[in-house]
Structure 1
Amino acid sequence: MPEFGDRWRAGWIVLLADHHAPAFFRVTALSVGHHRRSMGVDRAFVARPSLASRAGVVAGRSAVAVRSSTRSAYVVDNGIKWRALPADFPSWSTVYNHFSEWEQAGITHDLLDGLRDRVRLVEGRTAAPIAGSIDSASVRAAETVTGDTRGFDAGKRVDGRKRHLAVDTLGLVLCFLVTPASVQDRTAARNLLARLRYLCPTVRHLWAVGGYTGSLLDWARTLFGITITIVTKIAGQTGFVVLPRRWVVERTLSWIAQHRRCVRDYERLPEHHEAMVRWAMIHTTSKRLT
């Protein structure tokens, strides 16, 4: 795209055929100059050929669409406003429009799923997980978050929203849900498990914290065939102790919080917050392939 000048090379996307996995395309984002530290070098995104076509890589707006959309990771990682994007990026409205288009088309969903499957294969696992963990974390909300989508978590004393996550045994996100912080874990878990059953029907066992006790255990086993094991604290435990299985999903929550845009919730709609979390995990998961 010569009309954008040489400095745009920092965001060009190069498609490379992966000979070890012919069913995938390997999309490598080249980062140079002063963006090297924040975006990384040779960051790999793995997508199916059909996904690449939907993303605009194969035809039409290929360079602009993918370059603009991957700039969303810059916003999430650095926690800046859309209008504060660096001057040598595409205009903030172009980046946001492609960000919105990818979300509406479900491209980021498929991209994250493709990355997770590839990481599992590299780690010697099957692409489809059969076990995982669930947990939640409350996040303080900024004044931009509307009152009807936020709540107060009395246990954590947090006014904002809550992220409910289901991850595999490697800590890679299978699905997640964003609710007001006032929603109890066992209540939101029903919607989370329904989403998990639809997206990852192979999952048969989950580990969870004590907040998921009660009728939820029988409900999940009867309706979805998923058994849930509660990992409780050690008797007499004081201070921080790494508990079996629970640490996996807690580590994933910390991965998300390492992205500045996800430290607090600035999004007006829960769907927008889910999009930010999804890009945070795309950024995190892709690093495990490089």
Structure 2
Amino acid sequence: MTDAQWAILEPLLPPPGNTTGSGGRPEKHCRRLVLDAIFYIVRGGIAWRQLSAEFPPATTVYAIFTRWVRAGVWQRIHDVLRDRIRVHGGRSPLPSAAIIDSQSVQGSDTVPGSSRGYDAGKKTNGRKRHIAVDTNGLLLAVVVTMAGIQDRDAAFRLLAALRAWFSTISLVWADGGYAGRLIDWSKHVLFLSVQVVKRTDAVKGFKVLPRRWVVERTLCAARRSVVSPVQPGRTWREVLGSGG
């Protein structure tokens, strides 16, 4: 990380251990180096035990990573960076509209059968991620289910989570798979207007659909881990460093 990037991220981390001199051991490794190590793992898609020797021990980095997961650090970092990007683009940090979609992902051998299913349409055995994004494609809410769960069924949970996080959202765009009772339920229970953006049957081949392409771009970026959906081809660290 650059000094400017570290200046943004450091205040978002939990207070260092043993800062008062009582209880526990002081932190042995530089937090900036630990964060670089975590970014190295995520960006490279490698196993923890393959962490380069220039970083702290892999077991130490993993222990800190999991501790920060439990403390909600990554959620806080993500939300702050998303809000900074929105403000930088001249928008309010709180969105008023969202787009939802889902993606089935093949499960590895370590995924237990109790939490996986088969998506017959995509011929995928694993899990399905249901996401809501803002009009820039930045994540607002995520729900993970078995791949066999229908989109409209999981959308009840997704929209409920979206409403819990953002009271400012009043409009949600979705594809035809979300049509039906979800629309009435969202209107009367969550006070959300769900508009279905349908594909025109007269059009053959690929066509970019209004609004829907934004969430589809985010799902594509998710396969490349930390690539920013708002600026495809650039990592979050590059976006952060440019102030965008």
What's the TM-score, normalizing by structure 1? 0.73
Alignment of 1:44-123 (within 5 A): 45-46=8-9, 49=11, 51-52=12-13, 54=14, 56=16, 61=27, 64-123=30-89
Residues 228 and 239, structure 2, Cα contact 8 Å, conserved in 1 = no
Q: Indicate which of 173, 181, 189 corresponds to 2:155.
A: 189
2:135 is equivalent to residue 169 of structure 1: yes
**Structure 2 spans left out of the alignment, 5+ residues:** 20-25
Please, what is the CA RMSD of the aligned residues? 2.5
1:23-72 per-residue CA deviation (whole Å, 9 max, x = no partner) reads: xxx525xxxxxxxxxxxxxxxx557x4x34x2539x55396344324422
Q: Which residue of 2 aligns with 1:223?
A: 189
Matched, 1:287 2:238: yes
Separation in 2, partners of 1:56, 1:66? 12
Aligned-residue sequence identity (percent) comes to 41
Equivalent residue number for residue 23 of structure 2: none
Q: Where do 5+ consecutive residues of structure 1 fail to align?
A: 1-10, 17-25, 29-44, 260-278
1:140 maps to 106
Equivalents in 1 of 2:235, 2:101: separation in Å?
A: 19
Partners of 1:165 and 1:178 in 2: CA distance: 9
Q: Is the 8 A contact 1:65 1:98 kept in 2?
A: no
Change in CA separation of 1:221 and 1:71 when aligned onto 2, cut-off 3 Å: farther
- SS at structure 2 position matched to 1:211: helix
Contact 1:152 1:159 in 2 (8 A): yes
* Equivalent residue, structure 2, for 1:232: 198
Among 205, 221, 240, which residue is 1:255 paired with?
Answer: 221
- Cα offset, 1:144, TM superposition: 1.3
* Residues 248-286 of structure 1 deviation map (CA, whole Å, 9 limit, x = unaligned): 000111111123xxxxxxxxxxxxxxxxxxx66699444
Question: Is 1:55–1:102's contact at 8 Å kept on the other side of the alignment?
Answer: no
Give the letter for the 1:104 counterpart. Answer: R
1:160 equivalent in structure 2: 126
Contact 1:164–1:192 (8 Å) recurs in 2: yes
1:195 and 1:106 map into 2 onto residues whose CA distance is 16
Measure the CA separation in 1 of the matches of 2:124 and 2:15: 37
**Residue in 1 aligned with 2:207?**
241
Are residues 212 and 75 of structure 1, via their aligned partners in 2, closer, same or farther at CA, if it must alter by over 3 Å?
same
| Conserved 8 A contact 1:151-1:181 | yes
Q: Deviations over 1:119-178 (max 9, x none)?
A: 000000011001110001111111111111111101100111111110000111011111
Q: Secondary structure at the match of 1:178?
A: strand
Using structure 2 for the length normalisation, give the TM-score: 0.86
